[in-house]
Structure 1
Amino acid sequence: MTDLDLCYMTATEAVRRFKSKKLSPVELVRALIERAERVESKVNAFTYTFYDRAIDQAKKAEAKYMRTDGRTRPLEGVAIVIKDETTIKGERTTFGSLIFKDNVDSVTAPPAEMIFKAGAIMLARSCAPEFSCAPITHTKLWGTTRTPWNLYYTSGGSSGGSGASLAAGTTTLANGSDIGGSIRIPASACGVYGFKPPYGRNPDAGPFSLDWYNHAGPMGRSVSDVAMLQNVMSGPHPRDIVPVRPKLRIPDKFEGIKGWRIALSVDLDFYEVDSEVVANTKAAAAALRDLGAKVEEVKIGWTKDVKKATWAHLSGLFGAWVSRLIPEHGRKMMPYTREFARRAKKTTLVDFVEGMEIESVMYEKLGALFQTYDLLICPTLALPAIKADADLGDPGMKINGVKIDGYLDWCMTPPFNAMSRCPVMSVPSGFAKSGVPTGLQIVGRPYDDVAVFRAASAYERLRPMYDSDDRRPKL
């Protein structure tokens, strides 16, 4: 096994080898660090790194595995990167902003707390756009993060550093957060797996843990890795009222999906979608048919009003929070952050309530669909990716010759933040001619997480990623 194979090893396989004493956490951590030292300058996935401390922690994990009592934690010795939005006591979290470049946290947010208690080793903090309010990862403070598959294009956002690091082979696991697609967008652009759990499944920090569009979740290079991390991140927490009881555990193994009925929408009824994305989505649907599922194209009944609803929510809550920083710090902020604040000023409480009315109708349509079908599948992004440091306000941005809003019109993710109780996983669906991956969203009925994992696992067995050199980026 080469060092590169180690770097792309799944977390589940790494833990199996740790337990059988065929691999040391020290070997794996050192391989990942050496890989990062070679490729990180190209990808720019990290803010701060903790390499020396990580090696020390790996040595302690190695000692635990060498004992015979079997007392190891679920993520013992597994390397992870933590998003530069998730606070960690005593560490810097900058939120991708010059305003917080010297910020040192006084509390550890629930996602990181649960991950560390499970034994994971933090290699680095992963880059995110300023305040996580952009679908690209580009900031004045940290620069531009790129998909390892083609460095001209974005890694996506806001969990762009997490997706890029996974694809580049510089971490084993990564966490993310998703308020408009921020796990699924980079999962698609980087060719990895990202899960948006249903609202109420995973705890997070306040006040945005109370926002039903907000979801802390796992990212990985395999479905089993995402399941492993999700099982660590989910469940009740004393500092968050939101998570439901009892905790749901995703199983280790899944049966197939023969006989399942799956609805397919290539455009969710109102998106312009690039032809390469359409082709890859239909190819993924064909793979699901090969697994014995019946896949049928459908009309959901959604309209462009969906965009109105999601913008009313995102700008009304998140944009309003950002807008408070404008008077004192506006000049330090990214244009996309100021645009969020500008939209917040134009959003009224009436707009917000009307958005909720639209969301209610959205689920009436989707709920009716789920009476017939077990799952819905659709593209994750309407374009494979956009330029890494794109101007999101560029009026010339188009799909199929039609002008689009660069903020979210190429991202088919926000509707499922509105449908917040529906679990969604983005899985790789193929590649564009540019070499950039495309993604497929697998959408489940409310709180039916296991069905989403079951379908994703069956699909992955037929179309795996990262298991050989030809399915890894050439950096």
Structure 2
Amino acid sequence: MTDLVHLDAIAALRAFRSLELSPVELLDALADRTERVNGDRKTGVNAFTETLFEEARAEAERAASAYLRAARTREPTAPLLGIPVATKEKHALAGRRLEQGLVAHAGRVAEADHPVVERIQRAGGIVHARTTTPEFSCATVTHSAMWGVTRNPWNLDATPGGSSGGAGAALAAGMTTLATASDIAGSTRVPAAFTGTVGYKAPYGRIPGLPPLSADWYRGDGPMGRTVADTALLASVMSGRHPADHTSWGPEGAPIVLPEDPVAALRGVRIGFSPDLGAFPVDPEVESATADVVARLERAGAVVVPVELPWTGEQVVRTIFAHFGQILAPAMVRESGAVAELAPYAQRFIADARRAAERDDLVESLVLDAAMQGELATAMVDVDVLLCPTNAVTALTADGDYLDGIDIGGDHRKHYWEAHLTSPFNVANRCPLLAVPSGTASNGVPTGVQVVGHPHDEQAVFRVGAGIEALVPREPWPDPIG
């Protein structure tokens, strides 16, 4: 068996059960890879806030013994038994630091596990590392004074995205098999697209979060993997009602079933297509990659339907920042101690959100949300899913703050968050979204598309996402140190 560090979780579990591979072998390969490629906080991939390989190895040894026992007794094994999972630092691990990149939280220790960590460990997953984020997960780049700069393994000058940048970078670099993420404006999907991985934003409440901010209806925790099947597996483990989160719903551990022939399953599926959601300028390379996905879907027998959305860039920014000004920005101010100590991107976010809250109160922000939700529902009325690019640009610089906005194809946008076509679907947060790769840009950084489902229709996005994965050729995984 070759390239253990990029072995997908489904294949690893199969090899564990047949005793062709030991969980210890897989973990040791990831530890060696991490030592070789993670590098330093200034120039390396720098995807982990800390590693837990010593404790993880003891867990891997126990998992190996469990597989030996199961081979004799034919007893079933836990769904993630022996699989290494890197968790986003904000997903609390009892007894470990919980700092969220904030200087004011330096040395803070979690008292209990986050619900998704609890479920991963109960399913036999092994938490061997914790991944970097920007400060308070408020940016689509991943750097902070506390943890340094996280870089994209495909191009070290570029960011892996954010806020789950460490998760995407670790998956692409071969330092973990699965990873956890979260998403309030694209924080799972943006890094999935920039790193050639798969990210899932579940419908609001389907995956339990940690109160009180789990009550923020833009938010959601979720899985990332290198394949659609791996991401579906981790989603099924993480999902379902949990007593810690009263917004959580649905059965725990319900499997997401993928078609046996994902290309054949595309026949007759009606896929709405919007190249820009009506609101975003898009780089020509991203346009080309997305058009290639559309052509492949049509050749496979899907019915691609052009969809018009009436959204504008001003509408999207006004809507999301009205919301952030009521909840996220005040939470950041409360948690940060002194705003002046935050990174420039975090200070800018708070200032923008405060101004938005002065313009639009909570009731008006609900009015703005409802308008976008209604427009999306109308646009999707005759299709099974909607397809659009994930990011409007081919890359962001690894250490950029983007305080002056961003130029996209000759169009200057005041806020760099307009470089991503993701936040409208946090406004419409009952919709499931799967981000899958669409190709590779000339700078070596992957591109991606989003598959948007009707509210709560998880099965549809995984069905179409699996088909796209089967149709789109993939580049070999990167080796960031050559």
Specify the TM-score bucket, using the shorter chain as the normaliser. Answer: over 0.9
Equivalent position of 1:13 in the other structure: 11
> How far 1:12 sits from its partner (Å)?
0.6
- Structure 1 stretch displaced more, 371-380 or 334-343: 334-343
> How far 1:271 sits from its partner (Å)?
0.5
Out of 153, 175, 182, which is 1:177 matched to?
182
Q: Any idea what the Cα deviations from partners look like across 1:83-134, whole Å, max 9, x if unmatched?
A: 0111111011220122222111111111111111111111111000010001
Identity of aligned residues (%): 42
Equivalent position of 1:311 in the other structure: 321
Distance change in 2, residues 1:338/1:193 (3 Å): same
Task: Write out aligned runs for 1:124-273 (5 A).
Answer: 124-247=129-252, 248-254=254-260, 256-273=265-282
Alpha-carbon separation, structure 2, partners of 1:356 and 1:288: 36
- Matched to 1:273, the amino acid is V
CA contact (8 A) 2:308 2:379 kept: no
> How far 1:405 sits from its partner (Å)?
3.2
Alpha-carbon RMSD: 1.5
Equivalent position of 2:377 in the other structure: 367
Alpha-carbon separation, structure 2, partners of 1:124 and 1:325: 24
Gaps of 5+ in 1: none
CA contact (8 A) 2:439 2:472 kept: no
CA contact (8 A) 2:104 2:335 kept: no
- SS of 1:451's equivalent? helix
CA contact (8 A) 1:382 1:410 kept: yes
- Matched to 1:46, the amino acid is F
Q: Any idea what the Cα deviations from partners look like across 1:406-462, whole Å, max 9, x if unmatched?
A: 441101100000010000011001111100001100000110000000001111122
Alpha-carbon separation, structure 2, partners of 1:88 and 1:216: 15
- Matched to 1:147, the amino acid is N
- SS of 2:181's equivalent? strand
Alpha-carbon separation, structure 1, partners of 2:414 and 2:122: 41
CA contact (8 A) 1:47 1:126 kept: yes
CA contact (8 A) 1:392 1:405 kept: no
Q: Provide the TM-score with structure 1 as the length reference.
A: 0.95
CA contact (8 A) 2:439 2:473 kept: no
Q: Does 1:380 pair with 2:390?
A: yes
CA contact (8 A) 2:322 2:360 kept: no
Out of 33, 53, 56, which is 1:54 matched to?
56
Equivalent position of 1:112 in the other structure: 117
Task: Write out aligned runs for 1:339-350 (5 A).
Answer: 339-346=348-355, 347-348=357-358, 350=360
Equivalent position of 1:329 in the other structure: 338
- Structure 1 stretch displaced more, 312-321 or 296-305: 296-305
Alpha-carbon separation, structure 2, partners of 1:29 and 1:330: 40
How many residue pairs get aligned? The number is: 467
- SS of 2:221's equivalent? strand
Equivalent position of 2:464 in the other structure: 455
- Matched to 1:130, the amino acid is E
CA contact (8 A) 2:321 2:353 kept: no
CA contact (8 A) 1:183 1:195 kept: yes
Alpha-carbon separation, structure 1, partners of 2:47 and 2:217: 28
CA contact (8 A) 1:257 1:293 kept: yes
> How far 1:252 sits from its partner (Å)?
4.7
Equivalent position of 1:278 in the other structure: 287
- SS of 2:339's equivalent? helix
- SS of 2:200's equivalent? strand
CA contact (8 A) 2:258 2:466 kept: no
- Matched to 1:251, the amino acid is V
Equivalent position of 2:303 in the other structure: 294
> How far 1:341 sits from its partner (Å)?
2.3
> How far 1:73 sits from its partner (Å)?
0.8
Equivalent position of 1:415 in the other structure: 424
Alpha-carbon separation, structure 1, partners of 2:199 and 2:351: 30
Q: Provide the TM-score with structure 2 as the length reference.
A: 0.94
